[in-house]
Amino acid sequence: MIRPAELIERKRDGGELGAGELRELMLGYARDEIPDYQLAAFCMAVFFRGLTDAETYALTEAMIETGETLDLRSALGRKVVDKHSTGGVGDKTSIAVGPIGAACGVPFAKMSGRGLGHTGGTLDKLESIPGFRVELSTDELVAQVRDVGMAIVGATADLVPADKRLYALRDVTATVDERSLISASIVSKKVAGGAEAIVFDVKVGEGAFMKSREDARALAELMRELCSRFGREAVCLLTDMDQPLGHAVGNALEIREAIATLRGEGPPDFEELVVAAAAHLLALSDLGIDKAEADTRVAQAIADGGAAEAYERWIYAQGGDPDEASLPKAAVVPEVASPRAGYVA
């Protein structure tokens, strides 16, 4: 049996922990045998000392082991893709990228989280759609991806439960913005969720967790390397987040902006990111096409209305009302001047 205080102390003093030790720490935490306060101290020690690549891998593997894993390859007979942002203000990229993938015949499945820190989560945005269900069973998820090509659901409590708890703990103990912990949290969920290829959108700038380009690049490299150790392919895009993406901030407003983008009528900065992410997803998928061909197909899906239709099929399948007119309107929508050309949704 490990003594958690000893592991915390060793990490605090700059030492390295073994894979078996990290595994016991995480499994003990998930079983409620190791309390939150020891993990809080551990995370703060990691904030200052970091984790080696071997430690990050071991931690990620242990986190996955605390719960169920989804084998979408067996269930669907296809290579399922996913797209993930490291969090930023005004980010709704997945809500636009998924339908483009689905329209192009690439199965897209995403387990999403709530907002972390000051950033809103994809689920929070989707729940502004009347009737939309974020909680699907595994069977429902598989059936929906088969039927309409995509799903974005809340990560169930069975999927990396240790991360669910650690994520909430980090949020209230100022230990969110540490590269290894971010990578372990994200990659554990991607691997457990069954995605075989992932496009990561790593935000950088004042509004993001990574304030400098250098930090963002290091995070991207670590996530790519970590995915590869788990046999998953990954591409990382670095995107500026010095100001909100697009022009809308607010759940329903951001859904409107995603819909507009699927019709080719979105704000240019957001559309550029969506198109790039979708093209990378297609190039990583089992369609067997190169990036140039992927670019063409993405442009076509937006131009011919296929992407917008895929969005409607998806929202409808997941219980929501795809009609934009059904989205709630806030009583007050203030216009905030920005250095960019004005745009009010």
- Positions marked active-site: 84, 163, 170, 185, 189
Residue whose CB is less far from its own copies, 215 or 293: 215
Helix (H) or strand (E) holding 139: helix 138-148
Cβ-contact 295, 341 below 8 angstroms: no
> Cβ of residue 8: shortest distance to its own copies, in angstroms?
4
C-alpha to C-alpha distance for 109 and 148, rounded to whole angstroms:
11
**Among 50, 31, 53, 54, which Cα is nearest to 42's?**
50
Cβ neighbourhood burial of 139 (10 Å; 0-12, 13-18, 19+): exposed
In the complex with its own copies, the residue whose CB is nearer, 172 or 344, is 172
Q: For its own copies, give the closer residue by CB, 5 or 303.
A: 5
Directed axis angle between helix 36-49 and helix 161-171, to 10°?
Answer: 70
Least distance CB 76 / its own copies (angstroms): 40
Treating both helix axes as pointing N-terminal to C-terminal, what angle do 93-103 and 291-303 enclose, rounded to 10 degrees?
Answer: 100
Residue (of 268, 332, 306, 314) closest to 129 by Cα position: 314
Tally of CB atoms within 10 A around 316: 15
Q: How far is the CB of 168 from its own copies (least distance, A)?
A: 10
CA torsion sign, 254 to 143 to 159 to 82?
A: negative
Residue 68 Cβ vs its own copies, minimum distance, rounded to whole Å? 26
Coil, helix or strand for 20?
helix
Question: Least distance (Å) from its own copies to the CB of residue 157?
Answer: 20
**For residues 166 and 302, which CB has a smaller minimum distance to its own copies in the complex?**
166
DSSP state of 222: H
Q: How far is the CB of 167 from its own copies (least distance, A)?
A: 13
Q: Going edge to edge, which strands form the sheet with 197-204?
A: 150-154, 108-112, 81-85, 197-204, 233-240
Nearer to its own copies, 40 or 151 (CB): 40
Distance in angstroms (rounded) separating the CA atoms of residues 289 and 282:
7
Least distance (Å) between residue 81 CB and its own copies:
35
Q: Is 136 left (phi over 0), alpha (psi -120 to 50) or beta?
A: beta
186 residue type, one letter: I
Choice between 29 and 314, CB closer to its own copies: 29
Using the minimum distance from each CB to its own copies, give the nearer residue, 43 or 62: 43
Residues that bind its own copies (CB under 8 A): 4-6, 8-9, 12, 35-41, 43-45, 47-48, 169, 171-175
- Letter for the amino acid at 315? I
Burial (Cβ within 10 Å: 0-12, 13-18, ≥19) of residue 212 = exposed
Measuring CA to CA, which residue among 328, 332, 282, 317 is closest to residue 302? Answer: 282
